[in-house]
Structure formats: structure tokens, C-alpha cells
Amino acid sequence: KPAEQKHPKEPSSLQCMHLAVVACGDRLEETLIMLKSAVLFSNSRLCFHIFAEDSLKPEFEKKLKEWPSSYTKKFESNIYPITFSVGNAQEWKKLFKPCAAQRLFLPVILKDVDSLLYVDTDVLFLRPIDDIWHLLREFNSTQLAAMAPEHEIPKIGWYSRFARHPYYGSTGVNSGVMLMNLTRIRSTQFKNSLIPGGLTWEEMLYPLYQKYKNYITWGDQDLLNIIFYFNPECLYVFPCQWNYRPDHCMYGSNCRGAEDEGVSILHGNRGVYHDDKQPTFKALYEVIRDFPFEDNLFQSLYYPLQSKFLDTVHTLCGRIPQVFLKQIEKTMKKVYENRVIVYLGANHRY
């Protein structure tokens, strides 16, 4: 009888949900709060890929090590320098916000990573990453990335009114939360406006930027819109509750998915965590920032949040607090139930 073949154990990095972020300038705290929200609520192991300026690397390492072991065991982290594989590095670095164009190069840099969730530093998870990660299974055979629309209503959307370049669909897409099958991106020949045949992702980036650089306003997000304009079959569009921004409530509520299910991922663009223009967004940021890791989630996170929200009911976004609270409440109940079950199981005596 032949000896039974043993399959090698899958390395831990392959069992991870991979999360990437790019941090430059003054984005250290914001990035750490985003990572904290990811760890607080997620069920599966996380692999953080942090792209940061050299000056920030020691700070990231120091701060992440300060988290309690009950949380640090839930993730592993890698910190990378800012690098651009094609074209002029300084030009890429200054495109739109400092270093934002780095996200375009993730398929090229993270060669051993199959799938990845990229988020901006100003994102907060209000439910487990596991839930958005599962959307990868919903991709059809041609889809290789997923984003939410830039706006729900074309007549008040930015792209439909002002864009001077091609963009995806009727409103364009927002790249602040982007789910990617990197394996598919690396192996696809993309249709484009440069040559009649297809180009690989890496071949396409710099020539595309050169062609449209005088027409783009939002940097790398515009380039992604141009790419998916020519390759619409490659994009999976997820609903607005997975990338909920001030635009969804400051002109009246226009994200139906958030009204029905609650906000899943909060995206505080326009700097709203740091000024007083949108107090509901700022309240969520501050409560997650100030949450002491080992404390009771309801007592030290949910109740302070409810109390802060009472002060925001006079604002357009604050008029609908349940939109912000529904998903986070559901998530915390699950976390609490799981802990109680584990605790009871460990202490049960027959």
C-alpha cells in the first residue's frame, strides 16, 4: 500500500483576509483607527499591508505592538515603502493626494497575494471584513474588482456633471473601498484607448496617465474609472452601504441600502472626522478611537455613540442615526453572543 501523501499546511498568509492601505503625511492616527475597527469586529485572521513613508514605519510598528495580545493575535502586518514600478515616481507620488496612486500598483507589488481589500485611511468598518470579503465569491468569470458608485443620483453626481474623461456607468465609481482579485488583474489583457490590442495592468498605467493627465481631477480614482469604462465586464458594483460617504446624507438621504441594512463601511472623506461639518461621522471616529481595547463593547463603544448622536439630530446626516447604528449594533450583539458561548463552554462542568 503506497504511503499516504500529506498535503503541506497552507501558510498563514494564505488563510488571511488581506487588507491594504496607503498612509503618507499626517495619516498615521487615521490609519490606526481604521485598522482598529477592522480588528474589533472581524472574525477571521487579517493580514495588513501598510504602505507608508519611511518616517511613519517606526510609529506604525510601535503603535501596533502596544495593542493587547488578545487583538494582536488576530492579525499580522507588513509595512512597505512607497514604490512605483513604471513611469516617474515623483509624478505618481504627487498625483491627487500624497501617495494615493500607490493603490494602482498593488497587483504588481503584492505578487503572492491572490485577493485583497484596499481602503483609504479615512474608512471605518462597522461590521466584520468577512462580510465584504465574501463578495469575492459573487464575482462572475470576468469580474476582477469591486467598487461602489461615486453617487446614487446622476444629475447631482460629480462625474456626470464635470468629468472631461471617460468614466464607468452613469455616475462613475469611488475607489476608497476596492475589493480586488489580484490574480485575475495580473493575468488580464485590458481593452484601452491606446492600442487596438489589449495591455496588461502594468503596461497600461503610465501611458493611460500620460494620455489623460490634463483632464483628471481625482487622480488615481479617475484612472480606475477610465480603465473600467473600457472594461465594464471586469467590474462588480457593490451597493452604497459598503462605501457610505457624507454625500449620501448631506443632501438628504440617498443610499437606500444603508436605510434598509445600516452602514457597513463608513468613508469619512472631505476630512469630516477632523472638523465639525458632519458631527455623526466625527462621533463614530472618536468613539472607536477612544475605545479601550479590553472593555465591554456595549458599555464603552455603543452607549457613548448613542449619547454623542443625540447631539447631532439637528444635522442632515444626524437625522437618521439608525442608519449609522443598525449594523454596528448587530455586529456587537454577535461578538457578545460568541464571547458568552465561548465563556460558558470553557466553564461548563458536568
Which residue numbers in the chain have pLDDT < 70?
1-14, 96, 341-350
pTM attached to this predicted model: 0.91
Q: Among 211, 238, 265, identify where a domain stops.
A: 238
Q: Among 238, 262, 282, identify where a domain stops.
A: 238
Residues 331 and 253 in one domain: yes
Residues 206 and 266 in one domain: no
Q: What integer pLDDT is reported at residue 332 of this predicted model?
A: 85
Q: What integer pLDDT is reported at residue 346 of this predicted model?
A: 57
Residues 234 and 260 in one domain: no
The 3 state secondary structure assigned to the chain is CCCCCCCCCCCHHHHCEEEEEEECCCCHHHHHHHHHHHHHHCCCCEEEEEEECHHHHHHHHHHHHCCCHHHHCCEEEEEECCCCCCCCHHHHHCCCCCCHHHHHHHHHHCCCCCEEEEECCCEEECCCHHHHHHHHHHCCCCCCEEEEECCCCHHHCHHHHHCCCCCCCCCCEEEEEEEEEHHHHHHCCECCCCCCCCECHHHHHHHHHHHHCCCCCCCHHHHHHHHHHHCHHHEEECCHHHCECHHHCECECCCHHHHHHCCCEEECCCCCCCCCCCHHHHHHHHHHHHCCCCCCHHHHHHHHHHHHHHCCCCCCCCCCHHHHHHHHHHHHHHHHHHHHHHHHHHHCCC
Q: What integer pLDDT is reported at residue 4 of this predicted model?
A: 37
In a domain, 3, yes or no: no
In a domain, 7, yes or no: no
Residue 120: give its domain's CATH number: 3.90.550.10
Total number of domains constituting the chain: 2
Q: What integer pLDDT is reported at residue 344 of this predicted model?
A: 63
Q: What integer pLDDT is reported at residue 186 of this predicted model?
A: 98
Q: What integer pLDDT is reported at residue 256 of this predicted model?
A: 94
Residues 147 and 29 in one domain: yes
Structural domain range at position 322:
241-347
Q: What integer pLDDT is reported at residue 259 of this predicted model?
A: 94
Residues 207 and 257 in one domain: no
Residues 103 and 215 in one domain: yes
Q: What integer pLDDT is reported at residue 10 of this predicted model?
A: 35
Residues 126 and 181 in one domain: yes
In a domain, 1, yes or no: no
Q: In whole angstroms, what is the distance from residue 350 CA to residue 347 CA?
A: 10
Q: What integer pLDDT is reported at residue 13 of this predicted model?
A: 44
